[in-house]
Amino acid sequence: MVRSLSRKRQAIVAVGGGLPCFHENMEWMNANGLTVYLEASAAFLFHRLLKEKKSRPLISHLSDIELMIYITETLAARRLFYERAKFVVNAENCTPVKLSAAIRKKIE
């Protein structure tokens, strides 16, 4: 699906967390656009996901401790792929306005 977007121009695509880790997707995305890794700590992600846990089938059955372990392990396994992004932004201190400004600056 992500590769079908190559004909689009000036599109922002938010991919699922695992997408960059499979089928050489990160390499393909880097070759076809500006990739941005919104970097966040496991603790930050835990507090964010805790609010949405019931609506997310992958984590809805996990206890809080299991959720933190899941996030920590998944982040560790995926970080290698995420860090290949062309641009890394600290998501913990970022607002949409700040992110937009940082991306514009990177493009220019």
pLDDT digits (tens, 9 = 90+) for 20-70: 999 999 999 999 888 999 999 999 999 999 999 999 999 999 999 999 999
pLDDT of residue 73: 97
Question: 18-99 falls under which CATH superfamily?
Answer: P-loop containing nucleotide triphosphate hydrolases (3.40.50.300)
**pTM (2 decimals)?**
0.82
Tokens 């938010």 belong to: 14
| Averaged pLDDT of the chain | 90
Q: Which of 5, 70, 68, 75 is nearest to 33 (CA)?
A: 5
pLDDT of residue 9: 73
Which string of DSSP letters, residue by residue, matches 25-84? HHHHHHHHS--EEEE--HHHHHHHHHHHGGG-TTTTT--HHHHHHHHHHHHHHHHHHHTT
